[in-house]
Amino acid sequence: MPLIAAPTRKLACARCGATFDCAQAGDCWCAAEPYRLPMPGATNEDCLCPTCLRKAAAEAHATPR
């Protein structure tokens, strides 16, 4: 039985409003990023665009724990 790929979603960034594609099947652009972040504001934000995700990662990395 052939595998069926999940459809790509067209999203608007939760922070800046830029549109981008999200492939939930694991082959999304974000899966290739060198870092992982928890979903931002899990209750009120969806995915972030590449620019905002990279900015959030840089800010998280710069913040002392």
> CA-CA distance, 30 to 11, in Å (whole number)?
13
User: Residue 27: CA atoms inside 13 Å, Cβ hemisphere, count?
Assistant: 4
* pTM: predicted TM-score of the whole model, two decimal places: 0.68
Kindly tell me if the per-residue pLDDT of 27 is higher than 70: yes
Residue 19: the pLDDT is: 94
Residue 41: the pLDDT is: 52
Q: Per-residue pLDDT averaged across 41-47, rounded?
A: 62
Would you place residue 61 in the very low, low, confident or very high pLDDT band (cuts 50, 70, 90)?
confident
Residue 51: the pLDDT is: 93
Residue 3: the pLDDT is: 61
